[in-house]
Structure 1
Amino acid sequence: MAEISYIFEMPQETVEYRLLFDEDWQLIVQPQDKPNWTRLSHHPCKDCPLLQQPNCSHCPLALGVAEILEAFKNEISCEKALITVKAPEREYRKETTIQDGLQSLLGLTMATSACPRMAFLRPMARFHLPFASLDETMVRALSFFFLKQFFHHGEATGAFTMERFQAQYRSVIEVNQGLLGRIRDIDQTGDADQNAIIILDGFARLLLLNFDSDYQSLMRFFPKTDSETQASPAIKAVS
Structure 2
Amino acid sequence: MTFRYALELAYRGTNYHGWQIQPNASSIQEEIERRLTQLNGNLPISVVGCGRTDTGVHATYYVLHFDSQKELDTEQLVFKLNKMLPEDISLFSAQLVSEEFHARFSPTTRTYHYFIHQKKNPFLLDSHRIVSEIDFEAMNRAARLLLGTQDFTSFSKLHTDVKTNICTVSEAKWNQVSESEWYFEIKADRFLRNMVRAVVGTLLEVGYGNLGENDITKIVALKDRGEAKLSVPAKGLFLVNIEYPENFLIRKAKRE
**TM-score normalised to structure 2 length:** 0.22
- Answer 1 or 2: which has greater strand percent: 2
TM-score for both structures, normalised by structure 1: 0.23
Determine which structure has the larger helix proportion and give its number. Answer: 1
